[in-house]
Chains A and B, each alone.
Chain A
């Protein structure tokens, strides 16, 4: 693929009205949707009216006056960007008068612009330069000594892009992109006349401003005023390949713009159906970890974790892996080893790891980091609706009238989707936020929740049941929908349960701490406000009642008829890029791909025929049970691909004890992560830039990941798994991930129509994609629930066993921040640390005062599971009695604090509720210092012996 810019039609597509108009442009007849601009119409015909202030990511502005056209029968020269097409219109885009006018406009721009084009970072990729050529500019009558703002200091504070005021043409594209696309409103034009210039926040530098570094302004800038540092450093790209981001579950697609094998920039792909041309700071800029010096590129082994690593050949490492696993099984039994798949890896890689375990290890001891975040979604939605899937696509939010966000912080965790949601909110949709913290959605520029329900952590089920109480007792439910689509008797049982006085908002107010009137108002709004859409995150699932909460959410949606069409639904916001895919691919110890239980003879026979072995009919161990079995002496070997369980899983002491009890831990990763401190074999992994495959995002959208450079470690991850499998005698012969997907399709009904040629043709497919739905399924349960009748499940509130008391009076909840991702293994190795160099403990001013704490003080954070130290951030974002921290930094090891309590149905850890005490400290604890020292020792790599 050679480098071409994406076509810019100048203005967005018209909002569909179903009507069209016919007109003539430069003699060509055309029929287009009503509301289309003349500029866009001309572009769709293959023309290009000169423009500077217009771009199709933002609404037209009409300021540059370069896009003037002539319209027969109309006076003057209207701007084509702001003038809609009309029936019978006759437009001319190029006349002698227009040429003269445009040259005049361009002369004014150029007289005020530095002419250092040859040394400019945007040379060859500058719209001003292009338009000067397009209008035939040959002279500037005003000279070149205008107020070019030369001499003004560049703002180079942002680690990823520069702002050069001298190159600014004040087109406001960046300001409008920040407002309309991102929804942060961080930029403005300050000053007047020649003094006009872009300013971030109140005259701050970009890094210190409210700018969230999403890159929308950089993408919109037509000159070098806002430009990626990497482009300045390297030059313009010479090819572009579309691929999918490896960060969160939104699944943004990007053009990886390359020069040779060097990645110059990632530009959000406008045709991407998940992100629609937008991005966040992680996907747009934080990919430098792929070339970070910490990457391990050679396989390593060691006899014990107290020894330094020894680099070996791939052949030796693979043979050693296979022989160790076989040795352990010979000594301790078939079920003595297992593995963990990664939600960061591709569907194909995940499928192969679980196949290695089921076919090669001969057991079902496979688990995944996806269970640690969204397994209650699988359980809850399958019980109620019939399958483990969010019901909508992301576009659906633009049809929502009431948005209920529960336990999710999308502006930090799913920022690109949050921008879409905020756009809909600015259009007038109502918002209810159910969250212990005052997240940005509760109140930020041009967005304010109609109801914030700051419930006490751990009381989700009580709160949702109270909302159901209001809906049922006030008869706000959709009886027609329920009678047609659900089991009426089960609804009646549920309605009787939620109607009991003990479930009323007033009765549960002492539990949740939320004003009953506010709960009633929120319930009424959700039930009666039009299309009601629920979006939820880990604040729902990571509780001892995570599965019950998901079922309670599904109950609410069914009761109000908010399932099965655009604008409504139940939408889990998946954490990592391929959480959905990891679940779909059979990563859980009890089920094959497509969520079919291992005990089912027909399903098992299908796989047995395909794989030529007998498969275990008994479920395997989940991660915490693997760790228990390890300390009990019955589980001795673990293969971990792309997950750092020591840092990400709860109760670090428990994880460490389990890992330490094993005889062979194999870690396949980019870096020597924390889990690798307990590993005996390290197999270097590859980044998403270095391999082919697919990810499945939170909308069930399967999208291609494309290799843009050779793997630095020599192998894509799927190839490494195949090497291990073949060393264990499995005889795999995949030559490309497309062949793995063909196998997935053959064995998984929901993926039956998913093949690489279809993905190439369609761009993406949302499963189910099969004979019944050849083009995929944007909206689930449209004609009926997958399970048949929707099932109402009674969800009693069962309080967590993690209790506060005199020793541990506060509740800790954990989460993540915009600039970092999961355990930070990738983002800590990028300049994103500029925004978040360490984990901090958010604590309410009253709780801080009681403990004599000031902002920035070191504190001890202690729970029944352990203690750590970190610095305090005193803020009213958290309620009194609640503290909050992130888990991005191993120096903090926030999961030393979290406990083994977990969801009753799935063992999803209860990260969101830990009883803690906070007290002043002088600095890192003894444990932290010991851990840092141990980690340093464990990462030693023995120097290579000199050749004879």
Chain B
């Protein structure tokens, strides 16, 4: 192995990130994990990241686990329904709520 510093490419990072999220949602079961992952990508990823992973899922499907592939396909099909409902605490003019860092 080279001792040169390793910097992950953007493509590798996106695939890694999607699978890392999926691993942490796995206990939900396949259907809910798929929907939650799709919602997560929709809520927190910039459009160019979404476009890139959607394109990669089509061009390099072998890099994607079934759950991630299904979630990306769900993402490509339109914005998923939010998994968390708005809270009264943050309601402004019936505004929705989604909170993460």
Contact = CB atoms under 8 A, between A and B. Distances in A.
Given A603-B92, A866-B5, A590 B47 contact: no
A908 B48 CA distance: 20
A377 B100 CA distance: 8
Interface in B24-55: 24, 26-28, 40, 42-49
A602 B94 contact: yes
Contact of A374 (B21, B48, B92, B101): B101
Contacts of B60: none
Interface string A778-819: 000000001110000010101001000001000000000000
A628 B26 CA distance: 27
A620 B46 contact: yes
Contacts of A383: 84, 99
Interface string A532-549: 000000000000110110
A599 B42 CA distance: 10
B96 interface: yes
A477 interface: no
A137 interface: no
Contacts of B97: 595-597, 600
A92 to B, nearest CB: 57
A900 B46 CA distance: 18
Contacts of A603: 92-93, 95-96
B13 interface: yes
A48 B40 CA distance: 64
A905 interface: yes
A906 interface: yes
A22 interface: no
Nearest to A787: B87
Given A544-B20, A599-B79, A749 B99 contact: no
Contacts of B6: 864-865
B26 to A, nearest CB: 7
B89 A600 contact: no
Given A599-B43, A618-B47, A904 B5 contact: no
Given A545-B24, A786-B87, A798-B24, A588 B100 contact: yes
Contacts of B89: 386-387, 749-750, 768, 786-787
B14 to A, nearest CB: 9
Nearest to B92: A749
A796 B81 CA distance: 24
Contact of B101 (A370, A618, A628, A651): A370
Given A631-B10, A900-B13, A619 B99 contact: no
A594 B20 contact: no
Interface string A712-756: 000000000000000000000000000000000000011000000
A904 B99 CA distance: 15
A109 interface: no
A376 interface: yes
Contacts of B90: 387, 594-596, 749-750
A379 interface: yes
Contact of B100 (A335, A379, A618, A653): A379
Contacts, number: 158
A909 to B, nearest CB: 12
Given A590-B43, A631-B10, A379 B20 contact: no
B60 to A, nearest CB: 17
Interface string A628-659: 11011010000000000000000101100100
B101 A371 contact: yes
B8 A618 contact: no
A621 B46 contact: yes
Nearest to A866: B5
A376 B101 CA distance: 6
A457 interface: no
Contacts of A234: none
Nearest to B101: A375
Interface string A371-385: 100111111001100
A464 B54 CA distance: 36
B27 A382 contact: no
A621 B17 CA distance: 14
B72 to A, nearest CB: 16
B100 A796 contact: no
Contact of A798 (B23, B92, B96, B101): B23
A691 B38 CA distance: 44
B45 A619 contact: yes
B7 A657 contact: yes
Nearest to B21: A904
Interface in A113-142: none
Contacts of B48: 335, 629, 634
Given A619-B45, A654-B7, A905-B40, A387 B87 contact: yes
A595 B46 contact: no
A558 to B, nearest CB: 16
A788 B84 CA distance: 12
A402 to B, nearest CB: 28
A300 B24 CA distance: 46
A597 B98 CA distance: 5
B92 A906 contact: no
A469 to B, nearest CB: 15
B27 A904 contact: no
B44 A602 contact: no
A657 B6 CA distance: 12
Nearest to B10: A628
Contacts of B98: 590-591, 595-597, 599-600
B78 interface: no
B43 A619 contact: yes
A375 B89 CA distance: 19
B93 to A, nearest CB: 5
B95 A602 contact: yes
A597 B96 contact: yes
Contact of B99 (A387, A589, A620, A624): A387
A594 B82 CA distance: 18
A908 B20 CA distance: 13
Interface string B60-101: 000000000000000000010000100111111111111111
A492 interface: no
B79 A590 contact: no
Interface string A665-703: 000000000000000000000000000000000000000
A906 B101 CA distance: 5
A378 B91 contact: no
A212 interface: no
A625 B11 CA distance: 11
A900 B90 CA distance: 33
Contacts of B1: 807
A737 to B, nearest CB: 23
Contacts of A864: 6
Contact of B96 (A388, A596, A866): A596
Contacts of B23: 798, 904
Interface in A892-941: 900, 904-908
Interface of A: 335, 365, 370-371, 374-379, 382-383, 386-388, 497, 544-545, 547-548, 583, 588-591, 594-597, 599-600, 602-603, 605-606, 618-621, 624-625, 628-629, 631-632, 634, 651, 653-654, 657, 749-750, 768, 786-788, 794, 796, 798, 801, 807, 864-866, 900, 904-908
Given A787-B87, A905-B24, 18 more contacts: A335-B47, A371-B101, A379-B99, A387-B90, A548-B24, A591-B100, A600-B95, A600-B96, A602-B93, A618-B46, A618-B47, A619-B44, A619-B45, A634-B48, A653-B7, A786-B87, A798-B26, A866-B5
Q: Which 10 A-B pairs have the closest CB atoms?
A: A375-B101, A382-B99, A603-B95, A600-B96, A597-B98, A379-B100, A786-B89, A906-B101, A378-B101, A628-B10
27 contacts: A379-B99, A383-B99, A387-B87, A388-B101, A545-B24, A583-B101, A594-B90, A594-B92, A595-B90, A596-B95, A596-B96, A597-B96, A599-B43, A600-B97, A606-B92, A606-B93, A618-B46, A618-B47, A629-B10, A629-B46, A634-B48, A651-B7, A749-B90, A787-B89, A788-B87, A900-B7, A905-B100
